[in-house]
Structure 1
């Protein structure tokens, strides 16, 4: 048994049992990958994959257990490689972050500015997507961190770190009738509404608040981008519901924001990292910049597998 054979198993499963794609991802040939898997199965005395002819259809029961352990072994190997890289070049490397548009546009710029001052040799990559996509990127080890409000804190492979709280605001054109009366769900539901798509930025809280009140809002436009919401509110298409962190009174002078935390509750933005990840010094610094209340020693203790 060798590490390359374990990589063959991992990549085959990761690429939905397509041997051609798995071989390309590793940089080998499809026959070499097939041969390596067959040799590993012969050595272990069990079939790892369910086959129909030459096609692989899935994992056998022992194959599922083998894959889980292979992933842990390869993660440890990657950790060893990154430890040595950390000592060779403590202030250089790459940090990959998956996040939503709102976080990338309104929250991360100040954090990244400070981070770049401290680590100018570190390459930063921002990957934007919806919460499901960025969580999958983290689970697939394509990124180091996932940052979003909707990152699940129930996945055993992931440690989620609360960073900050935020609330929704209702944005309307200046001199809108809503500015003349107390803001309630009952008054809000009388107007067409522009807000986020269902996966994004606390939309579930918005839907739940209206449903609990027995109201059905007329959502005329749903977007992933707070700037899009503000653009169409300014055009008079409807009333916007969005994250307060996306509203700037100086920049958004044609709009007024009404606090709506009492209607839709408090939201929590989290930074997520794999529990088996090795975090280099600059990665820990990034977490401290993004979530200042987190103690580095506590973070390192939480990351240990036996905790």
Structure 2
């Protein structure tokens, strides 16, 4: 089937999809609302499917077909822009917006440094991070709200492609006043904590991963507190309310509570988590997202090598 939609129609569609409101999109594009409505209607007619559901007093929502088109539009529009600019520039620089999903517990450790390095190398690109849990990020990828996500491998569906950038083993954290921390030991067995209260990071998929570690060793942990916040867990531990099992290693130990935790390696060979760059399968990536991938692989790989040495 031959389709004859225009790049202008596609740009209009992407703007409407992002703002979910025809009037707001018309204002941003500096066109009349009737012009915009006509362009969207023509695009829907050419494709033979509705792209939006019109909700009275609530704006627009993408249909499944609209989500599919949005996910594939960025690469096409970027390529068209690069082709146009290559006529005048030998090596056209990347420009435009790039939304990258990032798993919330990873964001404080990775996002600021990645942003700094990416902006240094690609100042023409507006990089924005979308934080969320594993399920939220997968839905954002499906909806086209982000093109790539830096996240753990936990619960990632088969419709996604992953590129592993870091393997992160689990470890224990205890209060600096805990007898094991005071003793200066650098390695412990998880079974040593079977009778102590556990502070559990209770994010979707993450909870199952941590509890699964205990199950592998035949241990039933004594749950004391659960929390959705990574720093909340560390603060509970710092004040002596229990211990926790985490993956991302933090050397400094300072918590929001003003007290310190001590990370200690586990002697058991337990399954690690994998930090991965995740995309939809069979989706052509934009040059902007490939540039982010390159920065991410370099920075995270260097950091992982340094922390393991």
Question: TM-score under structure 1 normalisation?
Answer: 0.66
Shift of 1:83: 5.4
Aligned-residue CA RMSD (Å)? 4.6
**2:183 aligned with 1:174, yes or no?**
no
Conservation of the 8 A alpha-carbon contact between 2:253 and 2:261: no
Unpaired stretches in structure 2, ≥5 consecutive residues:
303-309
Q: Partner of 1:163 in structure 2? A: 165
2:98 to 74, 95, 100: 95
Q: Partner of 2:305 in structure 1? A: none
1:166 & 1:230 partners in 2: Cα distance? Answer: 18
Conservation of the 8 A alpha-carbon contact between 1:171 and 1:257: yes
1:165 & 1:9 partners in 2: Cα distance? Answer: 39
2:263 to 229, 243, 257: 257
Give the aligned length. Answer: 279
Report the secondary structure of 1:262's partner residue.
coil
Conservation of the 8 A alpha-carbon contact between 1:151 and 1:270: no
1:206 to 203, 206, 210: 210
Conservation of the 8 A alpha-carbon contact between 1:99 and 1:127: yes
1:111 & 1:48 partners in 2: Cα distance? Answer: 38
Relative distance call for 1:257 and 1:102 in structure 2 (3 A) is same
Shift of 1:259: 1.1
Alignment of 1:86-165 (within 5 A): 90-150=93-153, 154-156=157-159, 158-165=160-167
1:177 & 1:108 partners in 2: Cα distance? Answer: 35
Conservation of the 8 A alpha-carbon contact between 1:8 and 1:22: no
1:197 to 195, 202, 214: 202
1:277 to 269, 280, 285: 285
Question: TM-score under structure 2 normalisation?
Answer: 0.66
**2:234 aligned with 1:230, yes or no?**
yes
Conservation of the 8 A alpha-carbon contact between 1:97 and 1:143: yes
Conservation of the 8 A alpha-carbon contact between 2:189 and 2:267: no
1:117 & 1:10 partners in 2: Cα distance? Answer: 27
Alignment of 1:293-304 (within 5 A): none
Shift of 1:163: 0.6
Relative distance call for 1:172 and 1:155 in structure 2 (3 A) is same
Q: Partner of 2:251 in structure 1? A: 248
1:9 & 1:91 partners in 2: Cα distance? Answer: 22
Relative distance call for 1:37 and 1:92 in structure 2 (3 A) is closer
